[in-house]
Amino acid sequence: MDTSYTNVTYDGKDWLYVENGKVRYDYTGIRPNENGWWRIEGGKVNFDFTGVASNENGEFYIENGKVDFSKNGLYVYNGIRYNIVNGWAYRI
């Protein structure tokens, strides 16, 4: 086992967030891999998620579980207004 491995990876059934060689079932947030940035909930990519979520880099517009860096415009999520600029979500 590679205890230094950290990535969003496919296990044959689900896309999972692995950190230091272990699936992080306690993690909810956004993590990248070579295919994009993904909404992780309970260690798994949530492909049903569309909305705004954050990580240590800021807030992002996510569609079908993936940050949409091509998204621009006004967006309301959970009653909060955002200006979306290249996928980045700014509260207004």
Instruction: Give me the amino acid identity at 69.
Output: F
Both tokens assigned to 90 = 């700014």
The predicted-structure confidence for 45-79, as pLDDT tens digits, reads as follows 999 999 999 999 999 999 999 999 999 999 999 99
Dihedrals phi, psi of 48, to nearest 5 degrees? -90, -10
Confidence of residue 1 (pLDDT cuts 50, 70, 90): low
Rounded Cα distance between 61 and 84, Å, is: 7
Query: Would you call 49 exposed, middle or buried from its count of C-beta atoms within 10 A (0-12, 13-18, 19+)?
Result: middle
Q: How confident is the model at residue 2 (pLDDT cuts 50, 70, 90)?
A: confident
Element spanning 66, H or E: strand 66-67
Percent over 90 (pLDDT), the chain: 96
Predicted confidence (pLDDT) at residue 24 exceeds the cutoff of 70:
yes
CA distance 32 to 59: 14
